[in-house]
Amino acid sequence: MSQTDTVSRILDAAEVLFAERGFTETSLRTITSTAGVNLAAVNYHFGSKKELIQAVFERFLTPFTDSLAAELDRRVAAGERLSVEGLLESLYRVGMGSLAAEGRDPQRFMRLLGLAYTQYQGHLRRFIVSRYGDSYRRFAGLLAQALPGLDPVTFYWRLYFMLGATIFTLSSFDAIEAILREDFGAQSNLPETLERLVPAAAAMLKVDAER
Amino acid sequence: MSQTDTVSRILDAAEVLFAERGFTETSLRTITSTAGVNLAAVNYHFGSKKELIQAVFERFLTPFTDSLAAELDRRVAAGERLSVEGLLESLYRVGMGSLAAEGRDPQRFMRLLGLAYTQYQGHLRRFIVSRYGDSYRRFAGLLAQALPGLDPVTFYWRLYFMLGATIFTLSSFDAIEAILREDFGAQSNLPETLERLVPAAAAMLKVDAER
DNA sequence: CCAATAACCAAACGAGCGTTTTAATTGTTG
DNA sequence: CAACAATTAAAACGCTCGTTTGGTTATTGG
């Protein structure tokens, strides 16, 4: 078993288990036995559990923000007028695409993102902000441009409303979908839910704007 | 020190600490030393840590759902036509009022609610659904009535979008407010944020409805 | 007033945790 | 092929956790 094998097997197992139960509730013993590697391998390859958590986030956030940057570059270069809906679609499409391309589960990353915001892991928040803060600010800036006439403070709050609706819904997608199926017999999938989310979130962002 | 003292001191400490760090990250030793009571008191009075968690939720959810029910009764009896905005305002006002009345912090409960959804605590989700599911369904039903012409599945998803925006934003209120203050020098408070949230959430719920 | 019951407390138990150590094994390279 | 570095492996360390035990102190009803 080569090094990359062990490292990525650990990351695969950690990703799934963290998303399922959170960080504190997942022990290194569970991770390593799921991955089929020795317990000491985590500390050998990653240094500590904290650094493993960061590595899990880095492995999916870096391709995601890179793809998003490329997508935004492309559309800006083409001189497109970027609408609120268009920006949200780009965000969601890249989120689905850049990860699904690697055969990984997009909603798992939404759960991880939700955990990053919710759980008591100061190091993780600092890591994400320092590493991916620029990407976030660029997207937020373009979104603000698409909402002229909206005062900055209102925009900022609504940005968080939108993030909350997105992260909360998608990270609980399975649970919500199960309730829906039980109560209405209607089944949904992730792309369909995102199609519902785009106009809803856009409407929320645009109230009283664009005068 | 009478029994009620010990019990409520434990609940007070647990409420604050759980909201700050989550359930797993808060030990009974931290709780009992903060409360100034003996370690064994938790297991004596509550039985287990799980039951303590449930008791913390019960103590704020029961007054909240009771007040909400009374408020809705009052408005329905008065023959008021309940608008989306009106329902959201009732929800938030009761959330602020029924808790602030006891001198407790409303956004702490938002953090706890967020944790209930996010953290890996099956027993807690079951407890809340079985105990407060009826209140939830009544509010959702009234909200659906205020949105005629919206198909049930779309309504249900948007209800979760709204819940996500609310819980996510309010449970991270301090963090978001700190960023805002730093970037814009503008400070907000909770009532003001709720005033921003009502029209935004209402707009999201109402897209393409009420035709 | 005094048994009976409830409440409290210090100490310990066993289990699980992240991490470290030491040794064996594998892979690489001159 | 020998020498060296990188990796894997087994075992243990020190610590914290939730819970339990056994004994002491308060409270209370007859």
**Residue B30 contacts A where some CB pair is shorter than 8 Å:** no
107-126 in A: which are within 8 Å (CB) of B?
A: 114-115, 117-120
Residue B10 banded pLDDT, cuts 50, 70, 90:
very high
The C1' atom of D2 and the CA atom of A48 lie apart, in whole Å, by: 35
The C1' atom of C8 and the CA atom of B29 lie apart, in whole Å, by: 16
* Cα A29 from Cα A140, distance rounded (Å): 40
* Cα A102 from Cα A60, distance rounded (Å): 10
3-class state of residue B116 by DSSP: helix
DSSP of B124-192: HHHHHHHHHHHHHHHHHHHHHHTSTT--HHHHHHHHHHHHHHHHHHHHTHHHHHHHHHHHH-----HHH
Which residues of chain A have a CB within 8 Å of the CB of B20?
Answer: 120
* Cα B75 from Cα B90, distance rounded (Å): 10
The C1' atom of C29 and the CA atom of A10 lie apart, in whole Å, by: 29
Nearest nt (C1') to A39 (CA)?
D9
- Evaluate if residue A1 carries a pLDDT over 60: no
Quick: pLDDT tens for A81-101: 899 999 999 999 999 988 777
Residue B1 banded pLDDT, cuts 50, 70, 90:
very low
Average of per-residue pLDDT values in chain B: 93
Q: What's the pTM?
A: 0.93
CA angle, A98 then A101 then A106, to 5°: 60
- Evaluate if residue B66 carries a pLDDT over 80: yes
Q: Which residues have Cβ atoms closer than 7 angstroms to strand D?
A: A 1-3, 5-6, 37-41, 44-45; B 2, 26-30, 39-40, 42-43, 48-50
Q: Which tokens hold the place of A148?
A: 């002229």
**Residue B200 contacts A where some CB pair is shorter than 8 Å:** yes
Residue A4 banded pLDDT, cuts 50, 70, 90:
low
- Evaluate if residue B195 carries a pLDDT over 50: yes
Which residues of chain A have a CB within 8 Å of the CB of B201?
Answer: 161, 204
Average of per-residue pLDDT values in chain A: 93
For residues B194-210, average pLDDT: 92
CB atoms under 10 Å from CB of A25, counted, come to 18
Residue B21: per-residue pLDDT: 95
Quick: pLDDT tens for B102-129: 778 888 988 999 899 888 889 999 999 9
44-63 in A: which are within 8 Å (CB) of B?
A: none
Nearest nt (C1') to B52 (CA)?
D18
Residue B57: per-residue pLDDT: 97
- Evaluate if residue B208 carries a pLDDT over 90: no
Quick: pLDDT tens for A109-138: 989 998 998 888 899 999 999 999 999 999
In chain A, what percentage of residues exceed pLDDT 90?
Answer: 80
For residues A16-21, average pLDDT: 96
Chain B's closest residue to A171, CA to CA, is B118
